[in-house]
A and B are shown apart, each in its own frame.
Chain A
């Protein structure tokens, strides 16, 4: 199991299009990946799950993964939310 926290930096947070990008990125990895905000957790490969976290700009999320590519998965997703541009 590997995990780290990341801060959402884009203007609107993990809204629809960034959430879709996030899930698409997560699906590139075989590890089971969980993303959490506060006491809510979601499957990182589920757009619907990510949206229900309501992660706004400045939110701190935790990304954890378990599997062969866990470190790469967490690093890629953390980089994505830290650098993703607002699409609106």
Chain B
């Protein structure tokens, strides 16, 4: 069994899950942690409870907003736990790809997604300029 947790500062986690559901429809097995939204939020306790809520025989895939942030740093403490995977710096295309391929081998799923993740970031002005140049070349042939 695989469980996904999206953990991030503010309401990012609930927001990106809402977007994911808009695209893929109803999805089970994904929880969110909206860190530091409440004044009494305890990052260490919240992360500990989150990790310990999943049996080590089940796979836990944690997705955080950014590497080096306090949320990801806290989840880093659990690296080495059996069946525990931590991915930092998610965006909607990455989340979409991971969840859509959740039935695949977890390590392959994560490495395959991150390998192609760079393509989801585009400076559209430059991409459009390339598109126009290619179209002009084709017109001359």
Contact = CB atoms under 8 A, between A and B. Distances in A.
Interface stretch (A2-10, A45-53, A73-81): A45-53
B97 interface: yes
A23 B100 contact: yes
Contact of A46 (B23, B97, B127): B97
B28 interface: no
Contacts of B120: 48, 51-52
Query: Interface residues of A toward B: which range?
Result: 10 to 19
Contacts of B113: 48
B25 to A, nearest CB: 9
A87 to B, nearest CB: 9
Given A17-B23, A23-B100, A24-B100, A47 B134 contact: no
A52 B119 contact: yes
A48 B93 contact: yes
A20 B100 contact: yes
Nearest to A53: B119
Given A16-B23, A20-B23, A48 B119 contact: yes
Interface string B103-141: 000000000110011011010000100000010000000
A49 B17 CA distance: 20
Interface of A: 16-17, 20, 23-24, 38, 45-49, 51-52, 54
